[in-house]
Chains A and B, each alone.
Chain A
Amino acid sequence: MSPNETFLVQVNGRPAEARRGETLLDVCRHAGVDVPTLCHMPGLAPSGACRICVVDVRGRGLVPSCSCPVEPGMSVETNSQSATRARKTIVELLLANHPDDCLYCVRHGECELQDLAQRYGVRERRYVTAKNDDHVDVSSPSLVRDPAKCILCGKCVRVCEEVMGVAAIDFIRRGSHTLVAPAFNRGLNVSTCINCGQCVMVCPTGALREKSHLKEVQSALDDPAITVVVQHAPAVSVSLAEEFGLEPGADVEALMVTALRRLGFARVFDTSFAADLTIMEEASELVSRLKGGGRLPMFTSCSPGWVKFVEQSYPDLMPNLSTCKSPQQMMGAVVKRVWAAREGLDPRQVFSVAIMPCTAKKFEARRPEMGDAHDVPDVDAVLTTRELARLIRLHGLDLARMTPGAPDQPFGERSTAGKMFGGTGGVMEAALRTAHWLVTGREMYHLTIGAVRGLDGIKEARIKLDDVELGVAVVSGLGRARRLLEEIRAGRDDLHFIEVMTCPGGCVGGGGQPLRAEAGAVRGRLESLYRIDRSEPVRLSHRNRQVQELYDEVLGEPLGARSHELLHTGYHGRDGAA
């Protein structure tokens, strides 16, 4: 039999096409038959841990469809009485030690366990056991871990190890005492957790969630003595729509700007402006390293999970990280230390909020390097895309019915290059456009660099800047980054510039994005960024007039003294992180 041979099997009494190597779950789903899953992760090997996907195979009885290979002649019932009864019992057993505090849970209405309890008609507590009393871990600046709500599906453990290559958490102890926790059952803050939040994205319940800054933001908004300034990251405007039932990838920037004003933010700035600023610095740094014999390959530094990953696991490669702050922190520094003075405001009276697709940005904003000499942080609070949606709903605003608004100046103008920071390859494309201009004095003929686009986890290209040929690589998902770093440690030397985004797909796939997004949503968001790049006139960071004005009036020149003070940072090893 050839490996690609197809054959017919029976699913619920109807013929369904199957391919050798597929699982029963694949076959059912291709046939349009929904089988529920909890522990299943598309693209990873099945673990078969939760058993909720059991189906009735004639002659064999109940089998977990996620891990059972399809065979010719099979006849499958997905909703036989024994299958549905088994699923209901599984849900009831999962609920036996669950806290039952759905009304107060952040995932109320967005919880896979709750949905299954509804779907299988669980109406009473049939199994009574002691509730989990493991304490809530609030030690992390980005994430909250609540073992009492954990159903031990293991998806967080797997995404952390198999996709992100971090393995900060694992199952500890056994039997009814099993728990998902960092090494030594200590807090996430002293673990190797990089705060990316991909565990939150796969968690079916409220056991993992972001550390919310909504209260701090609301208090600041309510305080008349405080000026609250907000910036929104490139990926947010192409993702927020999904929280309000609109199509994935719809760009709601203009509506969101109005909503932010209605929420009471005094100024609405665009992080993409700071991304253009980042490109001015980063492209100049790249050119300077190329010409001056600096450490190569240079790594991008805008993804804070990646930065912590290098600090703790590859400290020998820290000099390869660009010293540029991330756009969030550049914007923060410019708002607190340039804009506030211009407006005659004390930086302490300015509250700077960032809307990010990311949980690690909460960690980044708290880094001690990210403030002025008087410990005034450049960014005071970070809201994820999800938290912004909550805030909008809290205020009863209907996003779709907002009158389109324009961002505030001077930090509202952006090029499409800055906007593309929101997806994997975007920083690379933006930086190469500007580096080409810096090196040759001319614009690139083809601004679109197809080789660095798309959702592949690693993309490589050779790019010519006149007589210099650059080797570039674009990586998203730290598991792949780890493999590339190992190659570099082993002596690979044909690369000059590497963009790394912590999350698969880049910020559009970030850990602060809408939960339970439909398949293809990340692609939709990325396509939206490309659409913006196609349809707007200013596609080069160095053509952003407001950025040029900032250099003329305040910063001087890229990599200059004032730039270094405001826009660059340093790194430190984190030996002993477990």
Chain B
Amino acid sequence: MSPLVVDILERFPGARRDSLIPILQAVQEQEGFLSQESVLAIGRHLDLPASKVYGVATFYNQFRFTPIGRFHVQVCRGTACHVKGSANVLDAVERDLGVKAGGTTRDGLFSLEVVACIGACGLAPVIAVGGDFHAGVAPRDVPGIFASYRERAKEGGSDAA
């Protein structure tokens, strides 16, 4: 098991089930996602069945179960973006990447997350890719945006943010 997860669990000695969510959050912050290994380890630490830990974790949108890609994609579905058509943008992103929200592309390049509001409503609809904001995105812009990141990855460019 990851030594980072061991460290986190050691920060919660004698923890009981009410510490479950803080622990899940700490592990996700450290690892970027909740691996099966982490879920099992957390369950053992809290004396909770893995099914319970997984059940709680899947209840909340904030937890992901696949590793973060090299470029983490956040599609804003806040009110302003929604009004400006972000549902179609999300569709286009899911189609282009071939994964659903919460997933990571098989090449590990992109991971997709839906967020409630990025706080850039003036730029709606907005998506963030690896920390770069893309404003006023239309579905037809989506393939071009991701192509440029694939290009960057090929050139060995550094991760943004």
Residues on A facing B (Cβ under 8 Å) = 161, 166-174, 181-185, 191-192, 576, 578
Contact = CB atoms under 8 A, between A and B. Distances in A.
B19 to A, nearest CB: 18
Contacts of A576: 40
Nearest to A169: B51
Interface in B8-47: 36, 39-40, 43
Contacts of B52: 167, 170
B35 to A, nearest CB: 10
Given A181-B51, A191-B51, 6 more contacts: A167-B52, A170-B49, A171-B59, A182-B51, A184-B36, A192-B49
B53 interface: yes
Given A161-B49, A183-B50, A172 B39 contact: no
Contacts of B65: 184
A39 B49 CA distance: 22
B3 interface: no
Nearest to B52: A170
A167 B51 contact: yes
B58 interface: yes
B54 interface: yes
Contacts of A182: 51
Nearest to B36: A184
Per CB-CB distance, the 9 closest pairs between chain A and chain B, nearest first, are A170-B55, A167-B49, A183-B50, A578-B50, A170-B51, A183-B54, A183-B51, A172-B58, A173-B58
Max count, chain B CB within 10 A of own CB: residue among A173, A174, A192, A578: A578
A168 B49 contact: yes
Given A167-B49, A183-B49, A183-B50, A578 B55 contact: no
A173 B65 CA distance: 12
Nearest to A174: B59
Nearest to A191: B51
Contact of A578 (B51, B58, B59): B51
Query: Which range contains the number of B residues in contact with the other chain?
Result: 10 to 19
B72 to A, nearest CB: 22
Contacts of A170: 49, 51-52, 54-55
Nearest to B61: A174
Contact of B53 (A169, A183, A192): A183
A184 B49 contact: no
B54 A184 contact: yes
Contact of B55 (A166, A172, A191, A192): A172
Nearest to B56: A170
Contacts of A172: 54-55, 58-59
Nearest to A192: B49
A495 to B, nearest CB: 24
Contacts of A578: 36, 39-40, 43, 50-51, 54
A168 B52 CA distance: 9
A161 B54 CA distance: 15
Nearest to B48: A167
Contacts of A168: 49, 51
Nearest to B55: A170
Contacts of B43: 578
A338 B39 CA distance: 48
B45 to A, nearest CB: 15
A182 to B, nearest CB: 6
B12 to A, nearest CB: 20
A183 B59 contact: no
A10 B91 CA distance: 57
Contacts of B40: 576, 578
B77 to A, nearest CB: 15
Contacts of A174: 58-59
A161 B53 CA distance: 13
A169 B54 CA distance: 10
Taking each of B39, B49, B52, B54, which has the highest tally of chain A beta carbons within 10 Å of its own beta carbon?
B49
Nearest to A575: B40
A576 B41 CA distance: 10
A183 B43 CA distance: 11
A185 B55 CA distance: 9
B85 to A, nearest CB: 23
A157 to B, nearest CB: 9
Interface in B55-82: 55, 58-59, 65
7 contacts: A161-B49, A183-B51, A184-B50, A192-B49, A578-B43, A578-B51, A578-B54
Contacts of A183: 36, 39, 49-51, 53-54
B137 to A, nearest CB: 27
A183 B41 CA distance: 13
Interface string B107-140: 0000000000000000000000000000000000
Contacts of A185: 54
